[in-house]
Structure 1
Amino acid sequence: MQQEQTQVNRKIELVSSKDKTQGRKKLKQYLGSLGLLIVIVAFGIVLSFMSPVFLTKTNLINLLMQSTILVTLALGVTFVIITGGIDLSVGAIMAVSSALGLGLIVYNGVPVIVGVFIMVLIGAVFGLVNGLFITKLQLSPLIVTLGTMGIARGIVLIYTNSANIDPVPNSFVTLATGSLFSIPYLILLVAVFAIIAHIILKNTVFGRSVYASGGNELAARLSGVRTKTIITLTYVISGVTAAIGGLLLSARLESVGPTAGTGLELTVIAAVVIGGTSLFGGQGNILGTILGVILISLVSNAINLLSVPPAWDSLVQGSVILVAALLDVYRRKFLKSA
C-alpha cells in the first residue's frame, strides 16, 4: 500500500513539474512579446523628441496604413515559418496576382468581385505549387520559393509589358480612402485578418498541427498528424495573404506595376522573426508578428522623418534582418533555459 502511494506521489510530482515548466515557457514567450513592445514604445518616445511630426495624427495613421500591407503578407508567412519553412515568393505572388486580376477588370471588363476572386485564386495556386513541390518532391523550401518567385516576376513583366495597370475601380479607391469612425477601412480589414489568423493558430486543430509539424515533424506524423497536408496548406495560406496584400497595395497606389513587392519578402521574413517566430519552426504567434512589422515600419518612418538619404534604407533593412537572426538564436537559448 505504501509503495503504491509513493508511486502516485511521484506521478503527481512529475505532472506538477511539467506544468511548471510549461508555465515558465509560456511566461517567457509573453515576456518576449512584452519586451518587443517596450522597445517599440521606447523607440517611439525617442523619435518623438527628434521629430515633432511623429506624434501627429496624420503621421500615426500613415504609419499604420504603411504597415497594413506588411502585416497581411506576414500573417501567411508566420504559418509557413512555424512549420520550419520559408517563403521567398510572397512579393512576386503579390505582384502577379494583383496584375492579372486588375488587368482582367481594367482591360477585359470583368466584374470587380470576379477579378478579386481571381487574384486570390492565383495566390492560392502559387502557394499550392510551392507546398506540393516541397512536401511531395522533398525539395528545399528556399529553392522552390526562389524558383516560383522568378516565374511570377517573369509573368508580371510579360503581361504588363513593364507598364503600370490603371485606373483601378472606384471600389478600390473607396477601400483605400474610406474610413469608419475615423479609422481607415484598410486598418480595420487587416485587424480582422489578424484576429482570424490568431484564432486559427491558437484555437483550432489545424493550428495545433501547424505547431506540431514545425516542432517535430516525425513525432507529429507518428501521432497521426498529416504533416505534408498541413505544410502544403500553410503555403496556400501564404499565397492567399500575398494576393490580398497585392489587392490592398493596388488600392492604395491606385495602380499596379511590374515591380510591386520587389524585395518585400525579406522585410516580411525579418518582421516575422523579430516578432518571435523561430526560423527553426515550432514557435511563433500573430501578436509578435504584428509587433515586428510595427518596429520595422517605425524604422522606415524614422528614415523618412529625419530625411535620411534613401541609400541608407537598404543598409538599415539588412541590419534589421541580421538582428532578427541573432534574436532568434538568443530566443531559442533563452527558452531552452526554461
Structure 2
Amino acid sequence: MNIGPRNNSDIYQKSKTRNIGSLGLFLVILVFSVLFSILSPVFLTVTNIMNLLIQSSILAVLALGTTFVILTKGIDLSVGGVMAVSSAVGLGMIVNEGAPVYVGVLTSLLIGLLFGLLNGVMVTRFAIPPLIVSLASMAIARGIIQIYTNGANISPVPDSIKYLASGQLFDFPVLLLIVGMLAVIAHLTLCRTVYGRAVYASGGSELAARLAGIRTKRVITGTYVISGVLAAIAGILLAARLESAGPNAGMGIELTVIAAVVIGGTSLFGGQGNIVGTLLGVLLISLISNAVNLLDVPPAWDQLVKGIVIMVAALLDVYRRKYYKTGYAIIK
C-alpha cells in the first residue's frame, strides 16, 4: 500500500506549497498586529498578548480536531454542543454524584468519543451528509445538556481541574502548555504516521485511496472520533477557565472553529491543510476579536470582519484548486 507522495521532488514541492501558504498567513497576522498596535497602544503589551493566547486556547483545541474532519471533506458542527455536554456531565459526576475527579474526566472523554463515533458511523456507514449528521448531533447534545442541568450552571470545579487553566509551570501557563502538546501530537499524527497519510489520501480522492488498499471508512470515522475527544478536552479546559459548566457553553462557536481552520489553509474540498496553518488561523481570528474588544467596537463588527475573512479564505481555496494540479503549485 503506497499512500505517500510519488518521489522526493513531489515531497519538496508539496512542502514548499504549504510553507508559502503559512508564510502568507503569518504576514497577514503581522500586518494586522502593526495596524492594531497603532490603533491601540495596549495591543502589543505582554499582558495583552498572553491574554490573547489564553483566550484562543479553547478555540485552538476545537480547531485541531476539526482540521482532521475537514481534511477528509467532512464537516463537524457538533463540536460546541459536544464540548458543553461532555464538560457538564463530567463535572456533574464529580459535584452531584461525588465521583473522583478522574472518573469525571474519563466520563467527559467517553462522551466526546461516543459522539464522534456516532458522527463517523452515520457519515461512513449510512452515507448521510456530514452537515446533516453534525447538525443532528449538535441538537442532541444541546438537548441532553438542557435536560441534565435543568438550565443551570454546575459548580464548583475541583482545584485539580482549575489548575489546568490557572496553574503555572516554570512561569508559563499550564493551559498553553496543554494546547501546545495537543498541537504537536496532532501535527505528528498527520505528518509522521500511516494514519495521517491515509487521512490526506482519503480527502484527496476517497476512491483512489480505497483502491490503494486504505480502509477509508475507518479513517474517516477516526477523524470524527478525534474531533469528539478533542471537543471533550476543550470542554474540560473551558470548565477550568470559567470555574463552572453550563448549558450555554460554546454556543455558536462552530462557525468560528471552521473559519479558523479554513483561514489556516485547510481545503473544504479535502486533502490539503496542516496543523501549523490551523494554529495561525486561530491566532488571526482571536487577534481580530481581541482588537475589537480593545477598540470598543460593537460586537457586530467582529462578526462582519470574520465573515469577510471566511469568504476571502474560501475564494482563495477555490483559486488554489483551480490552478494547482494534484495538490502541487503550477505557479511557483
Q: How far apart are residue 25 of structure 1 and its match?
A: 3.6
Q: Deviations over 1:174-202 (max 9, x none)?
A: 22111122210000011000000100100
* 1:288 matches 2:254: no
Partners of 1:156 and 1:327 in 2: CA distance: 38
Aligned to 1:207: 196
Cα pair 1:166 1:256 within 8 Å, conserved = yes
The counterpart of 1:150, out of the listed 118, 139, 149, is 139
Q: Contact 1:73 / 1:268 at 8 angstroms: preserved in 2?
A: yes
Instruction: Choose which of 228, 231, 253 in structure 1 pairs with 2:242.
Output: 253
2:15 to 19, 23, 26: 26
**Which runs of no fewer than 5 residues in structure 1 stay unpaired?**
1-16
Q: Secondary structure at the match of 1:267?
A: helix
Q: What is the CA distance between 1:316 and its match in structure 2?
A: 2.6
State the TM-score, normalizing by the size of structure 1: 0.92
2:213 counterpart of 1:224: yes
Cα deviation, 1:142-191, whole Å, max 9, x if unaligned, reads 10001010010011111111111111111122221111222100000110
- Could you tell me how far apart the structure 1 residues matched to 2:91 and 2:309 are? 33
Aligned residue-pair number: 322
* The structure with more helix, counted as a fraction of residues: 1
Structure 2 residue 300 is matched with structure 1 residue 308: no
Does structure 2 conserve the Cα–Cα contact (< 8 Å) formed by 1:198 and 1:286? Answer: yes
Please name the residue that 2:74 is paired with: 85
Equivalent pair of 2:63/2:257 in contact (CA under 8 Å): yes
Q: Is the 8 A contact 1:25 1:335 kept in 2?
A: no
**If you compute each CA radius of gyration, which structure gives the higher value, 1 or 2?**
1
Aligned position for 1:99: 88
Query: Is 1:62–2:62 an aligned residue pair?
Result: no
After the TM superposition, list the runs of 4 or more consecutive aligned residues in structure 1 that deviate by more than 4 angstroms. 17-22
Measured in 2, the distance between the counterparts of 1:193 and 1:123 equals 16
Name the counterpart of 1:6: none
- Equivalent residue for 2:152? 163
The reply on whether 1:53 has 2:42 as its aligned counterpart is yes
- Cα distance in 2 for partners of 1:19, 1:185 equals 39
Q: In the alignment, which residue of structure 1 is the partner of 2:64? A: 75
Q: Which residue of 2 aligns with 1:318?
A: 307
1:82 corresponds to which letter in structure 2? L
Who is 1:109 aligned against?
Answer: 98
Cα distance in 2 between the residues matched to 1:335 and 1:287: 21
Alignment correspondent of 1:4? none
C-alpha deviation, 1:286, in angstroms: 0.4
Identify which of 201, 220, 227 aligns with 1:238.
227
Deviation readout 1:213-238 (Å, 9 max, x if unpaired) = 10110111111100000000100000
1:22 CA drift (Å)? 5.1
Unaligned runs of 5+ in 2: 1-5
Task: Give the AA of the match of 1:184.
Answer: P
Query: Residue 265 in 1 paired to residue 254 in 2?
Result: yes
2:185 corresponds, among 169, 193, 196, to 196
> For 1:231-273, what per-residue CA distance to the aligned partner results, in whole angstroms no more than 9, with x for missing partners?
0010000000000001111100111111111111111111111
Alignment partner, residue 119 of structure 1? 108
- 1:270-323 superposed Cα distances (whole Å, 9 cap, x missing partner): 111111110000111000000000000000001001100123233233223222
Contact 2:87 2:108 in 1 (8 A): yes
Structure 2 CA distance, aligned partners of 1:225 and 1:179? 43
Secondary structure of 2:76's aligned partner: coil
> In 1, Cα distance between the equivalents of 2:284 and 2:322?
23
How does 1:28-43 map onto structure 2 within 5 Å? 28-43=17-32
Q: Which amino acid aligns with 2:253?
A: L
% identity of equivalent residues:
65
C-alpha deviation, 1:19, in angstroms:
5.2
Deviates more, 1:315-324 or 1:78-87: 315-324
Q: Distance in 2 between matches of 1:327 and 1:256?
A: 38
In the TM superposition, what is the alpha-carbon distance from 1:64 to its structure 2 partner? 0.4
Q: Name the CA distance, whole Å, in 1 between partners of 2:78 and 2:324.
A: 30
Deviation at 1:327, TM superposition (A): 2.4
Counterpart among 134, 142, 164 of residue 123 in structure 2? 134
Q: Is the 8 A contact 1:274 1:328 kept in 2?
A: no
Q: CA RMSD in A?
A: 1.4
- CA distance in 1 between counterparts of 2:7 and 2:84 reads 47
For 2:3, the equivalent position in structure 1 comes to none
Checking the alignment, whether the CA contact within 8 Å between 2:288 and 2:302 is kept in structure 1 is: no
Q: Measure, in 2, the Cα distance between the counterparts of 1:303 and 1:327.
A: 25
